[in-house]
Amino acid sequence: MTPRERFVKTLLFRPPDRVPFSPGGPRESTLKAWRQQGLPDGADWFQALLGELGIAPEAVRPQPNLWVSFRMIPEFEERVIEHRDGKLLVQDWMGAIVEIADTFDVTYLRAAKDFVTRKWHKFPVENRADWERIRVPEPPSRRRGEGRSAEVQEPIPGWHFISCTSCVTYKE
């Protein structure tokens, strides 16, 4: 069974040949700690983890990059509003006003590079009036039902759409 087949079976609550193993990547501070604990510089952390767990590595096919952004469009300007007493008050790419330690910068909020404790102060949308003020209307040509046939609007029998961190479309 390929990793993809195993993943799809798991999502459909069907028995895979074994449990998929996809731990995600470590944060900067975690990788730094692993290096201090003996992971050699330049060593691939995932291959080392597989070796420690006794899991044989699988042949990996290159994954296509769909170049689809799942972020807000447009994004808010990332900016520092205030710097005081070892803390930054910043606006992140989602428009939230948060307080973080000044050992980090705004990019840590955007890319989740490390564990950053936040104190949330304000969000750009707190009520219906805020939403109406900032929303960007969708062009009529992209609205559901306008200029499209009924066949396209309904799901295609036998097709399933799954969204995790990326879009996956498959046919049974």
Is the residue at 68 inside a domain?
A: no
Is the residue at 83 inside a domain?
A: yes
CA distance 100 to 83: 10
* pTM, full prediction: 0.57
Q: What pLDDT was estimated at residue 161?
A: 43
Q: What is the b/e burial string over 89-124, where b = at least 16 CB atoms within 10 angstroms of the residue's CB?
A: bbbbbbbbbbbbeeebebebbeeeeeeeeeeeeeee
CA distance 140 to 153: 15
Per-residue pLDDT at 65 exceeds 50: yes
Is the residue at 28 inside a domain?
A: yes
Distance linking the first and last C-alpha atoms of the chain: 15
Give the pLDDT confidence of 1-25 residue by residue, as tens digits: 888 899 899 999 999 998 888 888 8
Is the residue at 155 inside a domain?
A: no
Per-residue pLDDT at 150 exceeds 70: no
Mean per-residue pLDDT, 140-161: 48
How many domains does the chain contain in total?
2
Give the pLDDT confidence of 25-60 residue by residue, as tens digits: 898 889 999 999 999 999 999 999 999 999 888 877
Is the residue at 140 inside a domain?
A: no
* Domain ranges, residue 96: 79-134
Q: What pLDDT was estimated at residue 148?
A: 46
How many residues belong to the chain? 172
Pair of tokens at residue 85: 């007493």
83, 42: one domain: no
CA distance 158 to 168: 14
Q: What is the DSSP letter of 111?
A: H
Res. 166 pLDDT band, cuts 50 70 90: very low
Residue with tokens 């039902």: 145
Give the pLDDT confidence of 96-139 residue by residue, as tens digits: 999 999 988 888 888 778 888 899 999 999 999 998 888 877 66
